[in-house]
Amino acid sequence: MSERDLTIRVECYAGYRGEETPRRFYLGPCRVEVVEVLDRWLAPDHRYFKLKSDDGAIYIVRHDVSSGHWELTMFSAS
């Protein structure tokens, strides 16, 4: 699996402070609805989100702040 395979398309909600929070994302043709943001943290060049989806799976996605690029970094089925 290449890095390109882990690229996702993310739709976000920008809160009152302008911080983007994932609401749903697409893995190829599959739409994944976020039901809860379990955790979030910052690294020097990235923002990470631990997300629970509508099917109970847990995902960690990474956002490269400078490029705007999103990646899936972890998946755990329910």
| 3-class secondary structure per residue, 22-69 | EEEEEECCEEEEEEEEEEEEECCCEEEEEEEECCCCEEEEEEECCCCC
pLDDT for the residue numbered 7: 72
Q: Which of 7-11, 13-17, 19-23, 60-64 has the highest mean predicted lDDT (pLDDT)?
A: 60-64
CA–CA distance, 60 with 51 (Å, rounded to integer): 6
pLDDT at residue 68 is higher than 90: no
Domain span including residue 17:
3-76
Q: What pTM was estimated for this model as a whole?
A: 0.84
